[in-house]
Structure 1
Amino acid sequence: MDGPDVDVGPVAVSDGRVPSAELASRHGYQVLVRVGLVSYGLVHVVLAWISAQVALGGGGGDDASTTGALQQLGQQPFGQVLLWVMAAGLLALVLWQGLEAVAGKPGADVKDQVKNRGRAAGKAVVYLLLALTAIRIATGTGANSGSGEAEETLSARLMSVPFGRVLVVAVGLIVLAVGVSQIVKGVRQKFVTRDLAGGVSRSVVVLGTLGWIAKGVALSLVGVLFGWAAAKHDPKKAGGMDAALSTLRDQPFGPVLLLAMAAGFAAFGIYCLAWARNAKT
């Protein structure tokens, strides 16, 4: 990731490099990407803490979701400043992945370019939503929104149109597919070649493996909840991360499973610190 110590300026492609590769050489841009990845990791560390509290019965009304984690950060000393810094870094990640979605990665063949662009577009959307959430909380316009509220609203709107239940099932299947792909990414350790520039220790690989699997399991549960909402024709049964983790807690050995999930989120958060230092841009 290290490049010449120059400011971010107009992106030129006269040397034949794609815009994402050209921008990646800018020092200021690299710093913002690192801030974004560290911010992404910090959100997951806080999410791990909230999840552990919920598992141990001390979570109270805390929202076990990325939104809840950002709300927790906003309540800390200098929390508002931290949220704005995180938002700036996350928006840099949006730019990074957005350019890769449009221009692709240098050196990849046509088949890989299609996959890479699709993955980059998906990541850009995730980072954008997280950045907008941080901004809303920092400005006080999103502090009271629950994690499952948007999902319930979405499922209710979809169910109100013709073939609505089919659409809700489709959304659930898409979310489930993304969750499964993250599990596969962790199990097969695809993140090592996709995300990291190389030179990382075995412990970083282990952290990434545990983290991606935990994220995939949680997201898969969200997809299942959408399918369950369609089957029961009840939008309230759809939910986000908070509802998924609550569902997990209510299962046999639920607190143990939720603690394991919390450990996975924490592992991902720590992995993001190494990712920030070794990101393949």
Structure 2
Amino acid sequence: MTTGGARATARAVDDHPALDHVARLGLVTFGVVHLVLGWLAISLAFGDREGKADSSGAIRQLAEQPFGTVIVWAVAIGMVLLVVWQLIEALVGHRRHDGITRLRKRLTSLGKAIVYAAVATSAFRVAAGAGSSKENGTDSASARLMDLPVGQLLAGLVALGVAGVGAFLIFKGFTDRFLEDIEADGTRGHTGTVYVWLGRIGHVAKGAAVLGVAALFGYAAVSHEPKKSGGLDQALRVVLDQPFGPVLTGFFGAGFAAFGLFCFAWARHIDR
């Protein structure tokens, strides 16, 4: 098949109503992961330091529930559906926009596909029984990165990239840019108002947490101490040790839960 034929096929898939159902199923899955993540962060705020408050920890928490293996396999498949959706969007989507806006949105979709793929990988590993709660993949990845030539510079660039994601999430939350992906009917009435506030709180809280992760990476890059870097769980534990730490950590937990509920609303009123 020629490149043009492949792109035409991808456009046909992008325009097919079935892709809406693929996106909806994936968003529901993403919402479940964030609800559990919110619960773990709130539990951390109340002194329970056993669980790991990140996406992998949320998936392990699901695995411990009745029918946990089935649930985790469902999460893994749902995240793969999100990857498929966003890859199609990155290739031929966002055609109602032009120029730099279309390019920006396609690059954003590519970034989302990478994030969703990482969560899907965690889910498949947990479902297959691989990876324990003691592993620290972020630390080892940071160490490998800093061992490379100009590794500190690369780690600093990673920190800047992660910070950009966090800042953009906060921007979307404060400006209601996330409403571009929701049908107008989903923002009307009392229910619509709730949806909008869930999106605002969820995006701001998630963005602030991502900025915390970026700060850890940045500090590790400057100090050349990979162990000082870390993912969301470590960022929340750093926050927890600050003045008013439990309150802030609880806020992040409530924000993740709000984002999870917003994903359900997004799935119901998706506007591609």
Asked if TM exceeds 0.5, the reply is yes
Q: CA separation in 1, counterparts of 2:207 and 2:145?
A: 25
Partner of residue 199, structure 1: 185
1:218 and 1:241 in contact (8 A); partners too: yes
**Residue 229 of structure 1 pairs with residue 220 of structure 2:** yes
Partner of residue 21, structure 1: 14
Q: CA separation in 2, counterparts of 1:162 and 1:186?
A: 38
Partner of residue 119, structure 1: 108
Aligned AA (2:244):
F
2:155 and 2:221 in contact (8 A); partners too: yes
What is the CA distance between 1:255 and its match in structure 2?
0.5
Instruction: Give the superposed CA RMSD.
Output: 1.8
Deviations along 1:138-175, whole A, 9 cap, x unmatched? 010134354xx222112211221222111111111111
Structure 1: gaps (5+ residues) = 1-10
2:165 and 2:207 in contact (8 A); partners too: yes
Partner of residue 8, structure 1: none
What is the CA distance between 1:18 and its match in structure 2?
2.3
2:14 and 2:88 in contact (8 A); partners too: no
1:35 and 1:89 in contact (8 A); partners too: yes
Aligned AA (2:200):
T
Where in structure 2 are the equivalents of 1:1-281 lying within 5 Å? 13=8, 18-23=11-16, 25-26=17-18, 29-57=19-47, 59-144=48-133, 146=135, 149-193=136-180, 195-200=181-186, 201-281=192-272
- CA distance 1:72–1:108, change in 2 (3 Å): same
Q: CA separation in 1, counterparts of 2:79 and 2:97?
A: 26
What is the CA distance between 1:105 and its match in structure 2?
1.6
Q: CA separation in 1, counterparts of 2:233 and 2:76?
A: 22
TM-score (norm 2): 0.91
Could you say what secondary structure the match of 2:262 adopts?
helix
Q: CA separation in 1, counterparts of 2:108 and 2:134?
A: 28
What is the CA distance between 1:13 and its match in structure 2?
4.8
Between Structure 1 and Structure 2, the one with more helix by share is 2
Query: Would you say how many aligned residue pairs link Structure 1 and Structure 2?
Result: 262
What is the CA distance between 1:262 and its match in structure 2?
0.9
Aligned AA (1:196):
I
- CA distance 1:19–1:222, change in 2 (3 Å): farther
What is the percentage of aligned positions where both structures have the same residue?
40
Q: CA separation in 2, counterparts of 1:12 and 1:128?
A: 22
Deviations along 1:23-54, whole A, 9 cap, x unmatched? 3x12xx43332221111111111111111111
1:20 and 1:100 in contact (8 A); partners too: no
2:24 and 2:267 in contact (8 A); partners too: yes
What is the CA distance between 1:20 and its match in structure 2?
4.8
Structure 1 runs (4+) deviating above 3 angstroms are 11-14, 29-32, 143-146
Q: CA separation in 2, counterparts of 1:123 and 1:88?
A: 16
